[in-house]
Amino acid sequence: MKISVAPLLKAPVGAQIEYDVVESPVDPRGDNAGLLDADITSIDAEILATHTNPGALIEGDAKANVAEECSRCLKPIETPVRAQFAEQYYATIDVMSGDPKAEPPRDAKIVGSDFRIDLTPLLREEIILATPLAPLCTPDCRGLCETCGRDLNLEPHVHHEAVDDRWAKLEALKDFHPERE
């Protein structure tokens, strides 16, 4: 979603404008199609843009659903994610006179000459950062059997380990206790 901050930058410092981004499911051909790169399937964000001396401060709260796999059993799941963010965008051109402004800091996000800000990369980045690293389908997911790969939630079972003859003498050391002898 691209927003025009020209009206905001024409207003006095401290002026604010609210924006809402609601899309469920995210349209692959819409303004927020870039969210699909991060497997974000739906978005509901409230955004507040504030005119600051260097440009526009974008703050907000976003709720999204992210398509993932359970980290234990590999089932596809939808993970609800909530992210809060604040990002300063620096204006490079004065909106009233068209004169260049002071050079922004390195790696700063800038407001281009068209005075539009694309919120999609900001939302995508913040939601990715808030997404759990190891999502679970249920808190008590048992995962996959490490021997045969079957889902332990559906088929609980135990494999008996075969002992390699070369290690059999070491197996006897498990029961050795020098303090008893």
pLDDT at 19 over 70: yes
pLDDT at 177: 73
Mean pLDDT of 75-95: 93
- Does residue 144 or residue 101 have the better pLDDT? 144
> Quick check: helix, strand or coil at residue 166?
helix
Any domain includes 88: yes
pLDDT at 101 over 90: no
Any domain includes 19: yes
Any domain includes 126: yes
Q: List the beta bridge partners of residue 90.
A: 55, 110
Average pLDDT value over all residues in the chain: 89
Domain count of the fold of the chain: 1
Distance CA 9, CA 54 (A): 10
Report yes or no: 121 and 87 within 8 Å, Cβ to Cβ: no
Any domain includes 38: yes
Any domain includes 169: no
Report yes or no: 111 and 91 within 8 Å, Cβ to Cβ: yes
> Quick check: helix, strand or coil at residue 38?
helix
Distance CA 181, CA 47 (A): 74
Q: Which of 115, 136, 128, 50 is nearest to 83 (CA)?
A: 128
Mean pLDDT of 69-96: 93
Report yes or no: 16 and 57 within 8 Å, Cβ to Cβ: no
Mean pLDDT of 68-72: 95
| Model pTM score | 0.78
For residue 113 the two structure tokens come to: 């000459």
For residue 76 the two structure tokens come to: 């596809």
pLDDT tens for 24-41 read: 898 888 888 889 988 999
Distance CA 41, CA 76 (A): 13
Q: Which domain holds residue 122?
A: 2-130
Any domain includes 85: yes
pLDDT band at 163 (very low <50, low <70, confident <90, very high): low
Any domain includes 135: no
